[in-house]
Amino acid sequence: MSRPQIAVPLGLLGFLAYIVAVMNLADLVVSRHWALQVPFFLVAGTLWAWPAHRLILWAAGKE
């Protein structure tokens, strides 16, 4: 199998797992003060980009 053929399903499964985890954690945060919600959602909304970037570089053979 080529790297992209491995990266696509791996990326989709990883992103789905990330969404489920963030949604479960968001249930705990959403009832809190907005000052705790804002950093949580800022971090949760951008944290997925780092592993996605690494996976894309690996699939392209540039890492």
Backbone angles phi, psi at 61, to 5 degrees: 75, 20
Q: pTM for the complete prediction?
A: 0.84
Question: Distance between CA atoms of 63 and 57, rounded to whole angstroms?
Answer: 6
pLDDT digits (tens), the chain, 63 positions: 899 999 999 999 999 999 999 999 999 999 999 999 999 999 999 999 999 999 999 999 887
- The two tokens of residue 24 are 């479960």
* Residue-range definition of the domain harbouring residue 19: 3-60
Helix (H, G, I), strand (E, B) or coil at 2: coil
Q: Are 50 and 9 in contact (CB under 8 A)?
A: no
Tally of structural domains, the chain: 1
Provide the token pair at 39: 């950093």
